Chains A and B, each alone.
Chain A
């Protein structure tokens, strides 16, 4: 559940002061459900990728964990003190390097595979 869901106007919504333990547990169970199901989905989809594509797979999934940039943006979007701002800025820079670099480099690799179907010209 996004952090803002229950605290519309607060500059930095806090979870701990909500409804106490039962709510925290309920949320943990929802998060865990998604986590566990994602493990199975990840395992099933990835076990079908052939070895020749393992390097692009590694670099492509590497780009996907750049999604942590979403988290970085959420913490960087709050006006806070200089220390927090500097760290948040760093997180956004690192996350963006991960996303942009990851996808571009994967595309560069896959471009070389594309269009080399069995009918590729042989001299």
Chain B
């Protein structure tokens, strides 16, 4: 089977159009109304780039490509259709890992091509090939570990062991040394290259393993940016502009998102990556804040009392956390909010930037439950409102309302901007147990005089509340 070939300039022009479509697509993502259109625009750009590549005259056989596209397409489509919205972060991690893996393989095959032709690798090509392979491989295995952590296949805890940092540093320096040697050498050396590739894959695992599950969103965003850069590096070695442009766009986007997330948690990126946040607690007793809390008791509230408070409130602010999504309570919460609104209660949702397992994850989960996005307020908009709120309803959220972030300098989350739930007249906290949150930190809000705990599964409690509010 042969397809007609397009002249090189037509291919390049089509790549240019595709690049423009990607940029316009991302631009449209800036408003919820045009976002879907933006994604479609980018997909059209992708289709165009792929079709003209198929008609590129350097493509001589179609069998491998056709088989690969059919298999990959089926896997991708099934995964994308089946995945639950709560599992979105690990799905993105997996798709990201595939891209990284592809970039690493393409770079490696470029290297092999030099070896087969018996030609020396020029320094520029050597650097871009090795960069693409290293970043791609790191992103591939790193994403798989991130997926495992979020999916619960690997422990969510930050895995630490003695000499971890020195070992990682040594491995990194080793990879660097081998890369420099390979570039200086010029003559392709597939055996050494294989060691380089294996070490890069291992590095991805060791890089992500010591990072706690709570920080996985940052890691995924960072790895997303890595895959983008690996793609750009591949573009450098193939001198393909559409690869350079799109890879760089993604690299920039991932870097910016990573930065914004770290800012929202008020932790420098180095702390996220190397701080082993959320490691198993050390055997030295509880932190000072927790010790101060040990004497206090929390106050329980019955479903009926909570329902009465909500039903006769003027203003209620709902603070959803990942626990709500895990319990699949978002639909029930929307019903509860609708019921309260029908009674004339002013209901708002307060969304913390790191609520959920990804930036903006909570917005997606609430959108799935048909909550209009106009009722979702971010931290800066909603914080002044708590003073005048009668009830703050915290559902499955914990660290994002922990006042220790404001006052306790010894707390690991000190300085993180939080939702000022404690400023509301009453705070009702729906929680399964007194177990600390993802970050493993005690929450003094629970012991606050105006706070009440409503223990139980979020979905169950919400439906009970719903019945009770109807009766109130």
Which A positions have Cβ atoms within 8 angstroms of B?
1-5, 8, 11-17, 24-25, 27-28, 31, 34-35, 38-39, 41-43, 45-80, 84-85, 87-114, 116-118, 120, 122-123
Contact = CB atoms under 8 A, between A and B. Distances in A.
A116 B227 CA distance: 33
Given A1-B241, A102-B76, 15 more contacts: A35-B244, A56-B39, A64-B42, A68-B103, A68-B227, A68-B234, A73-B65, A74-B53, A84-B109, A94-B98, A100-B76, A112-B364, A114-B33, A116-B372, A122-B341
A114 B76 contact: no
B109 A91 contact: yes
Contacts of A73: 50, 53-54, 59, 65
A51 B224 CA distance: 17
Interface in B168-216: none
Given A52-B373, A67-B231, A59 B88 contact: yes
Interface of A is mostly: helix
Nearest to A27: B239
* Residue with the highest number of chain A CB atoms closer than 10 Å, among B32, B254, B342: B32
B465 to A, nearest CB: 17
* Interface size class of chain B, counting residues whose CB lies under 8 Å from the partner chain: 35 or more
B418 to A, nearest CB: 16
Nearest to A7: B58
A109 B31 CA distance: 14
Contacts of B79: 97, 101, 105
B206 to A, nearest CB: 22
B26 A74 contact: no
B124 A24 contact: yes
Given A35-B248, A67-B243, A74-B59, A99 B76 contact: yes
Interface of B: 8, 11-12, 15, 18, 22-23, 25-27, 29-33, 35-36, 38-40, 42-43, 46, 49-50, 53-54, 56-62, 64-65, 67-69, 71-73, 75-77, 79-81, 83, 85, 88, 91-92, 94-96, 98-99, 101-103, 105-106, 108-110, 112-114, 116-117, 119-122, 124-125, 220-221, 224, 227-228, 230-232, 234-236, 238-254, 256-257, 260, 338, 341-342, 351, 353, 356, 358-361, 363-364, 367-368, 370, 372-374, 376, 378
A29 to B, nearest CB: 11
Given A45-B23, A50-B30, A96 B69 contact: yes
Contacts of A123: 338, 342
Contacts of A1: 12, 239, 241
Contacts of B234: 68, 71
11 contacts: A16-B119, A25-B124, A35-B244, A46-B256, A58-B224, A66-B102, A73-B53, A75-B105, A77-B58, A91-B101, A92-B102
B250 A65 contact: yes
Nearest to A76: B64
A93 B72 contact: yes
B96 A98 contact: yes
Given A45-B26, A53-B360, A122-B372, A78 B58 contact: yes
A95 B365 CA distance: 27
B76 A97 contact: yes
In the A-B complex, list the 4 residue pairs whose CB atoms are closest, starting with the nearest.
Answer: A96-B72, A92-B68, A42-B252, A77-B59
A109 B92 CA distance: 12
Nearest to B357: A55
A66 to B, nearest CB: 5
Given A60-B26, A93-B75, A100-B80, A66 B46 contact: yes
B361 to A, nearest CB: 5
Contacts of B353: 51
